[in-house]
DNA sequence: ACAAAAAACTAATAAGTGTTAGTTTTGCAT
DNA sequence: ATGCAAAACTAACACTTATTAGTTTTTTGT
């Protein structure tokens, strides 16, 4: 049979990961078989093992790639000298951008990390916790310097993260909402609220 | 072997569904086997079939029970004569209450409905869409009567629903946040924002 | 105490799982 | 053209899956 197509650049492994993310997103990790993945790629299942180590390695690659992008971004935001509000805005916008540009991967990282094996699951959760802690620190600082209302900072972080992580079902409303409107109005909503 | 315990009232099927929800939540539907479920119940797998029709029936029961509760609630909220803001607040509080009181079921309905077979999946999605439409109508009415800022109503609905549906990971912070604070501050956040 | 019903059991099935071993084909560099 | 490495193939593995059939045990109602 024909070889796995490698459009433009990127290794075959890259293409496999990409299609895996697509399937893991739409069918879930556990319900996606290597035979299905192979079929999408136009190849027999065992052929995949010329390029990857295992099914779970695919999940690891997806989760850590996404996790590291977010960690990198928050570090850079922490380092700049914007206001707290500005930093929170940048974080919200980054989440939306990531969700739009890397939908499958981000979705999988957010929803399928449960199926990571140790020690990867622990590592991944540590990345998440570290990210959440950064956000918490930011919100607390905002409350301290009076930029932000004195609400419970855990709740604020929870609300923001829930809202941006749940973005996957924006997909269905694509036609109705441009990325700009989504970003702008979500930032307004999560920072300034919606009531007059 | 001993029979399935039926604490207080409720049929054995009820107990099975409850444990299934627990497993489907923590391991996902696809990765939960009937043998595991049976083990949790202290019974052999085939014994389950004296009480239930199939594995997928369990998922159906969970999803539709949750779906119908939400539909019932929003209908009752639509019918009352509160302000739009008050109605939105009630909806947010109801989501939080549901998440806290029926965590496993709500989580499963929110995350595992993909594994429903037809026609159940279509039916379930219709329930969801109907719920979202109700919310959208509410937000639009709020914008019309000037209770709510003129932001994109789709985005507002998306943000609120994402935020409250993502609540599952509040679990980890249980110790830090009481239900009252969670409800109050999340309502404030999603309605009035967090910036001063 | 005894019959009937409920609910457990064991054994088995057919299909599907990730993955390996060994072999053949493909395509590029010389 | 030819040799070599990359990447495909087929066949097979050891398990696991949901579910059924048939049987035995347990509980319930009289």
CB contact under 8 A, B156 and A181: no
A93 part of contact set with chain B, CB < 8 Å: no
pLDDT band of residue B2 (cuts 50, 70, 90) is low
**What integer pLDDT is reported at residue B99 of this predicted model?**
92
Q: Is B19 left (phi over 0), alpha (psi -120 to 50) or beta?
A: alpha
Nearest residue of B to residue A84, measured between CA atoms: B195
| 3 state DSSP class of A148 | strand
The strand pairing partners of A148, in sequence order, are: B195
Rounding to the nearest 10 degrees, give the CA dihedral for residues B159, B164, B169, B175. 120
CB contact under 8 A, B173 and A190: no
Q: CA-to-CA distance for A89 and B57, rounded, in angstroms?
A: 44
**In chain B, % of residues over pLDDT 90:** 84
Please write the tens of the pLDDT for every residue from B91-113: 999 999 999 999 999 999 999 99
Question: Between the CA of A144 and the C1' of D16, what is the distance in angstroms?
Answer: 55
Q: Nearest nucleotide, C1' to the C-alpha of A1? A: D8
**What integer pLDDT is reported at residue A132 of this predicted model?**
95
**What integer pLDDT is reported at residue B196 of this predicted model?**
79
Q: Give B88's Cβ-side CA count (13 Å radius).
A: 30
**What integer pLDDT is reported at residue B3 of this predicted model?**
65
> Which among A27, A146, A156 has CB closest to B189?
A156
pLDDT at B1 over 60: no
Whether A129 sits with its Cβ under 7 A from any strand C atom: the answer reads: no
| 3 state DSSP class of B8 | coil
pLDDT at B4 over 70: no
Q: Where does residue B39 rank: exposed (0-12), middle (13-18), buried (19+ CB within 10 A)? A: middle
CB contact under 8 A, B195 and A196: no
* Cβ A178 vs Cβ A96: under 8 Å: no
> How far is residue A161 from each of residues A27, A88, B22, measured CA to CA in Å?
24, 11, 24
Q: Nearest nucleotide, C1' to the C-alpha of A47? A: D8
Q: CA-to-CA distance for B139 and A146, rounded, in angstroms?
A: 30
Higher pLDDT, A10 or B23: B23
DSSP state letter for B43: S
- First-last CA distance in chain A: 63
> How far is residue A11 from each of residues A15, A51, A150, B18, measured CA to CA in Å?
7, 9, 50, 46
Tokens (6 digits) for A26: 């739409």
A106 part of contact set with chain B, CB < 8 Å: no
Give per-residue burial for A86-114: e unless 16+ CB within 10 Å, then b: ebbbbbbbbbbebbbebbbbbbbbbbbbb
CB contact under 8 A, B166 and A170: no
**What integer pLDDT is reported at residue B171 of this predicted model?**
72
Q: Which residue is listed with tokens 């389950």?
A: B48
**What integer pLDDT is reported at residue B5 of this predicted model?**
61
* Cβ B28 vs Cβ A115: under 8 Å: yes
pTM for this one?
0.92
Which residues fall within 8 angstroms of residue B26, CB to CB, at 6 or more apart? A114
pLDDT at B173 over 80: no
Please list the rounded mean pLDDT of every run of 10 residues in chain A (196 residues): 61 94 97 97 96 97 97 96 96 95 95 96 96 96 95 94 85 78 95 88
Q: CA-to-CA distance for B192 and B42, rounded, in angstroms?
A: 49
């Amino acid at each position: 049979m024909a070889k796995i197509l490698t459009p433009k650049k990127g290794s075959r492994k890259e293409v496999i990961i990409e299609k895996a993310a697509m399937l893991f997103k739409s069918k879930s990790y556990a319900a996606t078989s290597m035979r299905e993945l192979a079929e999408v790629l136009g190849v027999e299942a065992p052929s995949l093992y010329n390029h990857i180590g295992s099914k779970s390695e695919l999940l690891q690659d997806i989760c850590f790639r996404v996790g590291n992008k977010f960690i990198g971004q928050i570090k850079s935001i922490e380092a700049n000298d914007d206001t707290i509000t500005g930093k929170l805005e940048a974080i919200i916008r980054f989440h939306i951008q990531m969700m739009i540009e890397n939908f499958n991967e981000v979705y999988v990282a957010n929803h399928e990390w449960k199926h990571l094996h140790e020690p990867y699951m622990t590592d991944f959760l540590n990345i998440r916790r570290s990210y959440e802690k950064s956000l918490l620190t930011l919100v607390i600082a905002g409350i301290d310097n009076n930029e932000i209302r004195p609400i419970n900072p855990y709740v604020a972080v929870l609300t923001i993260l829930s809202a941006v992580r749940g973005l996957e079902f924006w997909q269905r409303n694509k036609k109705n909402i441009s990325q700009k409107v989504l970003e702008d109005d979500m930032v307004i909503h999560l920072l300034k609220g919606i009531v007059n």
